[in-house]
């Protein structure tokens, strides 16, 4: 799974945000991520697939497999909905 190019993960004023870059800069594409969103985004930057994200969440957080699958899938659906996935 790949993120589209043209986005940077940054810490700004204590918040984790994803910022658009490039010539067609659209600040409406800026989003704020919570700790888990940041965790997942960083793994997506490395090319992790959905199953790998679920495994990473299970290893990092106290959550059951069904909950991890649900939350990862919902996160990926939102990223796709907003145009962040290639």
DSSP string, 37-78: HHHHHHHHHTT--HHHHHHHHHHHSS--HHHHHHHHHHHHHH
How many separate domains does the chain show? 1
For residue 86, tell me if it sits in a domain.
no
Look at residue 69 and tell me if it is in a domain: yes
pLDDT given at position 85: 92
Band (40; pLDDT cuts 50, 70, 90):
very high
Domain residues for 71?
A: 7-81
Count the neighbouring beta carbons within 10 Å of the beta carbon of residue 57: 21
**Helix or strand run (H / E) with residue 32:** strand 31-33
The per-residue pLDDT of the chain, averaged, comes to 91
Q: Is residue 1 part of a domain?
A: no
pLDDT digits (tens, 9 = 90+) for 43-84: 999 999 999 999 999 999 999 999 999 999 999 999 999 889
SS3 79: helix
Enter the pTM of the model. 0.88
Q: For residue 10, how many other CB atoms are within 10 A of its CB?
A: 11
């Amino acid at each position: 799974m790949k993120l589209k190019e043209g986005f940077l993960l940054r810490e700004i004023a204590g918040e984790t945000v994803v910022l658009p870059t490039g010539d067609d800069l659209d600040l409406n594409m800026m989003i704020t991520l919570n700790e888990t969103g940041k965790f997942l985004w960083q793994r997506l930057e490395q090319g992790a697939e959905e199953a790998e994200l679920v495994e990473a969440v299970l290893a990092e957080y106290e959550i059951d497999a069904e909950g991890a699958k649900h939350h990862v899938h919902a996160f990926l659906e939102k990223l796709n909905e907003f145009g962040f996935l290639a």
